[in-house]
Amino acid sequence: MHPQELAVHTFQQKFGSPPAFVARAPGRVNLLGEHVDYNDGFVLPAAIDRATYLAFSPTNGHSTIHAADFGEQAAFSDSTVASKNQQDGSSLPEWARYPAGVMWALLQAGLDAPALNGVFSSDVPRGSGLSSSASVEMVFGVAWQKLGGWNISPMRLAQLGQQAENKYVGVNCGIMDQFASACGQPGRLLYLDCRTLDWQTVPLPVDVSIVVADTTIRRKLTSGEYNKRRDACETAVRLLGEHLPGIRALRDVSLLDFDRLCNILPDEVEKRARHVVTEIERSRYAIPLLESGDLARFGHLMNECHASLRDLYGVSCPELDIMVSLAQLLPGCYGARLTGAGFGGCTVNLVQNDQTTAFALSLAKGYTARTGLQPEIYICRASAGASLVE
């Protein structure tokens, strides 16, 4: 059953009437600019046609949220949300902290988040690196915008979702995931300056497809590895700042200056920072290559990105490396790399349209032969951002 149908069907079962509204928020895939959003860099994501759907209606008192995909329920209100508790005083389960965090962030911003009954379902795989958490945050943001009667820009909604994840859930993520889910446009990539929040769209060349390959290996962001990388970047800025006054983030450090000063950094910090500085350089090159249709050179940047994430940033894993190395050898593949935070999840592949089916079959077969695992391969379209479903 499609997740929208499942959400609506389960709502009818749970609450005894059809939902008043349905909202949708997509997952995202990032083609270039990985682990640079929290370093004020440039990113190139797209919203994809896999999404979280929320069937919802206004109610009185407290919000009751049911997760249809794993059969759990949580209840909270504006009086319990700050303490991360349910109505009965028990702690919110981890999955419920994403919608509850959005309520908390909206209330902090002075926006009304009225009680709702809601059922959500998603075909964005959890823990896959396609930003299932951001799609949950944005779908609840759209719902509360409808019920609260206020109107803010998609970018502002993305910022509040980021605040929920940073301050409430405890994952120190950048703005990219929520931005892509909120601001996606059909058929187009999004190019975002993570410092100024200026952004533009770039057409995805018509003769290529985005193919996402799920290793089925799952990672857990809140385990701390993500935050350790962010800490290393902040340490690098502090130490480099003693020689480069005025820098605010690694975005402000040129590759020339970094090479000149890198010996002042501890080894691990130097590796983490080198990935970020070189990845920001790659991202700057991306737009003219896409606009001129130079997919070979753009794909080469994707391949370089994966090697950097593997060797310098330390966020790959054997299964991701196998998936990428297999893809890079297949006909029609311009570039392949891990996408998302890493430690498991998915790869993103830029593939010639007339080769996508053969590519997907060969990649799945090769991956199973090497790992014994059955991957999921998705041929994706760039899709619209979060909104009510008409």
- Angle (CA) 42 53 78, round 5°: 85
Q: Specify the amino acid at residue 273.
A: A
Q: Which of 55, 335, 337 is nearest to 209 (CA)?
A: 335
Among residues 40, 177, 214, 252, which one is catalytic?
177
Amino acid in position 124: V
- The answer to whether 137 touches 101, Cβ cutoff 8 Å, is yes
* CB atoms inside a 10 Å sphere around CB 269: 20
End-to-end, the C-alpha distance of the chain in Å comes to 19
Strands in the chain per DSSP E: 21-30, 42-43, 45-58, 63-67, 72-76, 116-122, 188-193, 199-203, 208-214, 333-339, 346-352, 376-380, 387-388
Q: Can you spell out the DSSP letters for 176-194?
A: HHHHHHHH--TTEEEEEET
3-state secondary structure (DSSP) of residue 143: helix
Give the three-state DSSP class for 60: coil
Residues 130, 28 contacting (CB under 8 angstroms): yes
Cα separation values, 161 from 59, 122, 157, 249, 347, Å: 23, 18, 6, 22, 25
- Which two structure tokens, joined as six digits, stand for 68? 């249809």
| Residue reference for tokens 């892509």 | 180
- Is 177 marked active-site? yes
Q: Which residues are catalytic, by number?
A: 177
